Structure 1
């Protein structure tokens, strides 16, 4: 089953190496956070948090401390500023600025997202009936972003009569979107605003009823579905559904068939859906299958049936089932594809003549084509082991053409149209890498397997310039995430070339906690097995050292969000393996956060991390929580990043962690906290502003290696 996760994981890394004298000078100049002991007690266990006061976002003393950390970071890395600018221009120079997406046809219009040279934000446009028709600009985000330090447009949703476009805007970066509606005929944006939403919405078949999801103002949990009726802008919107279980979140969408509006509720382990005839928005939603703890399912409507991807009857890797649309209870579900122990079913795409199944086997993506006629099924062929393939925008039932994406660690991403009948493929677009220097034949990509401490084989995907020697002298950046069942598939990055072309090896460790090798891979890296995630990464690190791809003097590690937790854990457990580490928006204060149900995401995370109100989980969390396990030892050079408005991992977790590390660690290595005072979990919003953040991290890493150009 596909995991739709907002994860921010891409970029790269770290500290700089100077003389011992300059290191000591910088250490002495580092900000010192005030110690204000705060007692935390649970299950008879007392923890003293000296930096708990940093939780006070509105406290001027907190803002002053964060600003001082930023000033320290800027001063200490001032010698890399010119190099940062060079890296930025180099990375930007590979990107086609006047780029556009491959158009797709939906309900009589071709939809296109494009960028213009010198501009940071996308333009969303459409053309009626033909690509030769005049362009209609729906949203120019460059104009909309004027006056905002952060801007994000989300959830564009077009009514079936093509007249109305609902959309969500966030100008703070806390993922609290304001929904508005634009008349695409007149260009008028209607005056009413719907605050504190997910940004997503869906139109009923009457073209005037808009369903949307509101968040809890404090926890930011998506908890209520409302409907707004156009023309009744002064009337109070009607509450349609309230998800009262605080371990669940709710959402609303329309089926690809357009016949049903669907309300979904989901937690880590359980899902539930409600359906309503899209032409009768005034009606009552009907429960598809009542929630049963541990039962997960997704639904797709076609004809007079629903197709269900589910783990029913202990189908750990999920199975595909079908049921009549008027008999949706699971007692009526029958198999289309039975459960297989070695193949994970991630999702389906339904067409008039074909069923397309996205699978994962041996850690690799598979796309399976099954004609409804019963003719021979087949898989799309992929020849290497470091690729990613996925279905993309397939909104039309009545077509034999499947659109999918493909890339590998050395191959730029492509959008491909595949005729499932003739088996012919057409590359609609391949990512251009400008600058004239890129040639994929100059790079080697491979998959290797490390052995974990319990004997489990863990795959590692890597890419590097051809001709390197396995003599331990290569700088190597090892990335991983390892949570929520999120699979970290190999991907191409033109930005990454700035490391590869300077001698770096880039590697992804496909550790447990993700779903890279199936659902069991995830189950064995969560809850009371979470430490497998950390030891897998450490064992992958040992493997690349033993195989002489690198050495501890040249090995670097990176992770963000829950991957930042991974970074925090491994530097406590095996700091000697790494010369530098970057932890982006790091979830490092696990116990305190999971005990605070007022913090966004907390209650919905119990099935991932455990509920520390239960002593067994409290003790286990405390045994690995990075903040609680900082100890008097040498740590690698470290760069820690956060955003003041982060709604996923609150800024104070990285801030407290850095303060405690400064007061406790025994080395004179670099330790920097870089707080974006205008952004949240995903960093800067403009595509080129985001590159500046990457340039800072790359220059830091390269400086550690003594690479100045």
Structure 2
């Protein structure tokens, strides 16, 4: 530690760990950057591990006084949560599947009961009334997450699938937090595990209709899904055949099971264009069939549908449609050159509506659309689809302005679709929407204990103005009695990447903020998808800085509008939202009393410059390729948080990370906090909280998740001087 740096540290209290400097030069496009802390990337180094543990100990010492507040918030979350609860049963073939949670247990218990077939479709598809805490007659436990997690440092499921006859379960289990799963098989008649298992699989499982084969995805060394393999039950997994392989490091591979479970829809793509193959699951000898090539540069998704007994495909695409449209294409058309194919319009392009995708039953199509920033579902009959006789779409109506309605399930043979509904004020609801007449049946609203009354809170939309004149949507949530008087503590949350929208949703932990007088604001900045594809395009690549300046503009709006005391504003974001936190900390540190950067992508340029690192090549479609493009390199270097740390009075900063995170490596925040302390001209602490047994989502288990959220919120509330409930 230099004398200057030592002088900048508080004269009393815990001393932060100081990593030794080992300069490494990185040269691109004639520019050389000297990185003193790149050596912290060596995960196997005892010195690195010791340093990370010292960082965690320093964090614990600096924030020790927040422990009572953390315990209070955890207790509030626990007291408001119905710990013994269950999901609404969902029917698949001859069974109703659901999950239970039990008080004192970390993980869900996956169960099922037999369904009945009386010939009355409405009755047969009405879920049974299963009670929390009481076993249902004939209930079978498929998988108890608590038993599976026992004695393991981490537990998460990456997917589950059951054969058509309901006799065999496949499930993917992660015990490290690195999202590399072990695939296991369970005989549901005997309850015994099969001897065979497959290591290092990724998300996504599907059985063939006869239950003799299972399809799964494999990642390469850079954690990119690049192969789909098929395993024949009863054989050595070492001999599993590769169904399809993708060698382009900038493309992501995945699959979906068709609604009638006869076809595997294989998607390959990035954020700008894609490719679709189809695999006939009925024929074991079938090979994937190319439907739409990446060479056409069309970003799209497909759902198979039967039209007059013939296979056709609903294609959601951006072909001359920036916000997407939906076309119906007969299966045989894909054998022709694109210019000669017939694409019948099902949903026309609109500038004010983004079509997100489709789902299909035997009689209807469900459309996921976004209008006025809100995600909603529309329904069309298949009869007459793509013809002048096509019926108008219907949409369930709700009485809130800011809400999220999404498709939870569309079972092929069902007379209904299942919808999920939530808002900032309304806990998650489950509805069944009757396809025959549009009737909504409320199946469940998640209980909130402790006398929660949504009338005590307000959620509203305002619009901030960016420097270039762009109007930025802002969602503001507060207690009703909190006035616009310029005295309130405020927390601004943002993400703004990958066209991901920060949609309205209820969160029990957030009540602990609101009840302490905090104004919670979501900045729907460019780079997200809230206002359609142009909103995303205007916040990526060489327009990425709009994401950061939009967030600053939202913060300034909250202060100018009287919602926030300028001395009592905090910022929070995770992953790519963590990059946002790092950028605004450099850009406008004076606006924030505290910044919480969760699993933050703060060393983005270093990561994207190395295609061998996890997911780096896939990021080129989001940020540009700084390896080959000097303009992209210069632009990224001008905003990358790590490279732009300056001698500034930074606010309180907490970097929250996990040792086994494969999406944003721990080394990014580890380097960032070192350099921040070195340059900080202020006296506020910079800490790093690291979960040594966690992944991108932190530690596993719901109680551990509550503790993580309590830690984040206690850090913010302490900094804002808002520790007492109002």
Task: Work out whether the TM-score is over 0.5.
Answer: yes
Whole-angstrom distance in 2 between the partners of 1:368 and 1:337: 11
Whole-angstrom distance in 2 between the partners of 1:396 and 1:434: 36
Q: CA deviation at 1:466?
A: 0.7
Q: CA deviation at 1:354?
A: 2.6
Q: Is the 8 A contact 1:305 1:323 kept in 2?
A: no
Q: Is the 8 A contact 1:269 1:293 kept in 2?
A: no
Give SS of 1:455's match. Answer: coil
In the other structure, the counterpart of 1:498 is 512
Of 310, 313, 331, the match for 2:316: 310
Q: CA deviation at 1:305?
A: 3.5
Whole-angstrom distance in 2 between the partners of 1:234 and 1:252: 20
Counterparts of 1:88-237 in structure 2, within 5 Å, are 88-130=74-116, 131=128, 133-216=137-220, 218-233=221-236, 236-237=239-240
Instruction: Name the structure, 1 or 2, with higher relative contact order (CA <8 Å, separation 6+).
Output: 1
Q: CA deviation at 1:679?
A: 0.6
Alignment CA distance shift 1:21-1:662 (3 Å): closer
- 1:565 aligned to 2:568? no
Q: Is the 8 A contact 2:315 2:329 kept in 1?
A: no
Of 381, 387, 397, the match for 1:381: 397
Whole-angstrom distance in 1 between the partners of 2:318 and 2:533: 14
Q: List structure 1 segments (4+ residues) > 6 angstroms apart after TM superposition.
A: none
Alignment CA distance shift 1:36-1:165 (3 Å): same
Alignment CA distance shift 1:49-1:293 (3 Å): farther
Give SS of 2:549's match. Answer: helix
In the other structure, the counterpart of 2:548 is 534
In the other structure, the counterpart of 2:667 is 652
Whole-angstrom distance in 1 between the partners of 2:269 and 2:346: 24
- 1:325 aligned to 2:331? yes
- 1:298 aligned to 2:315? no
Of 399, 404, 408, the match for 1:392: 408
- 1:416 aligned to 2:431? yes
Alignment CA distance shift 1:123-1:144 (3 Å): same
Alignment CA distance shift 1:439-1:398 (3 Å): closer
Normalising to structure 2: TM-score of the pair? Answer: 0.92
Whole-angstrom distance in 2 between the partners of 1:371 and 1:61: 63
Map Cα deviations across residues 204-243 of structure 1 (whole Å, 9 max, x no partner): 1221011111111x21111111111112236611112110
Counterparts of 1:523-672 in structure 2, within 5 Å, are 523-613=537-627, 614-672=629-687
Moved more, 100-109 or 158-167: 158-167
Q: Is the 8 A contact 1:460 1:540 kept in 2?
A: yes
Whole-angstrom distance in 2 between the partners of 1:623 and 1:21: 26
In the other structure, the counterpart of 1:340 is 350
- 1:353 aligned to 2:357? no
Whole-angstrom distance in 2 between the partners of 1:637 and 1:620: 27
In the other structure, the counterpart of 2:34 is 48
In the other structure, the counterpart of 2:70 is 84
Whole-angstrom distance in 1 between the partners of 2:544 and 2:492: 19
Moved more, 651-660 or 28-37: 28-37
Normalising to structure 1: TM-score of the pair? Answer: 0.94
In the other structure, the counterpart of 2:3 is none
Whole-angstrom distance in 1 between the partners of 2:315 and 2:565: 44
Alignment CA distance shift 1:193-1:666 (3 Å): same
Of 28, 31, 47, the match for 1:61: 47
Q: CA deviation at 1:23?
A: 4.8
In the other structure, the counterpart of 1:480 is 494
Q: Is the 8 A contact 1:350 1:397 kept in 2?
A: no
Give SS of 2:234's match. Answer: coil
Q: Is the 8 A contact 1:204 1:261 kept in 2?
A: no
- 1:683 aligned to 2:698? yes
Map Cα deviations across residues 475-513 of structure 1 (whole Å, 9 max, x no partner): 111101000000110111111101101101111111110
Map Cα deviations across residues 583-635 of structure 1 (whole Å, 9 max, x no partner): 00000111111111111110111100111112111111101000000000111
- 1:403 aligned to 2:418? yes
Q: CA deviation at 1:419?
A: 1.9
Matched positions, count = 686
Give SS of 1:370's match. Answer: strand
Alignment RMSD (CA, Å): 1.7
Give SS of 1:385's match. Answer: coil
Q: CA deviation at 1:423?
A: 3.0
Alignment CA distance shift 1:369-1:283 (3 Å): closer
Q: Is the 8 A contact 2:168 2:188 kept in 1?
A: yes
Moved more, 468-477 or 534-543: 468-477
Alignment CA distance shift 1:235-1:666 (3 Å): closer
Q: CA deviation at 1:708?
A: 4.1
Alignment CA distance shift 1:353-1:293 (3 Å): closer
Q: CA deviation at 1:335?
A: 1.3
In the other structure, the counterpart of 2:525 is 511
In the other structure, the counterpart of 1:284 is 287
Of 238, 241, 244, the match for 1:241: 244
In the other structure, the counterpart of 2:258 is 255
Q: CA deviation at 1:406?
A: 1.1
- 1:693 aligned to 2:713? no
Q: Is the 8 A contact 1:83 1:708 kept in 2?
A: yes
Give SS of 1:563's match. Answer: helix
Moved more, 35-44 or 521-530: 35-44
Whole-angstrom distance in 2 between the partners of 1:586 and 1:152: 22
Map Cα deviations across residues 530-588 of structure 1 (whole Å, 9 max, x no partner): 01111111111110010010032111110000000000001111111111110000001
Q: CA deviation at 1:133?
A: 4.8
Map Cα deviations across residues 301-354 of structure 1 (whole Å, 9 max, x no partner): 121243334334321111101111233354232211121121100112223333
Q: Is the 8 A contact 1:35 1:51 kept in 2?
A: yes
In the other structure, the counterpart of 1:4 is none
Moved more, 458-467 or 224-233: 224-233
In the other structure, the counterpart of 1:7 is none
Counterparts of 1:26-41 in structure 2, within 5 Å, are 26=13, 29-41=15-27
Alignment CA distance shift 1:368-1:706 (3 Å): same
Moved more, 637-646 or 411-420: 411-420
Structure 2's unaligned 5+ residue stretches are: 1-6, 117-127, 129-135, 384-389
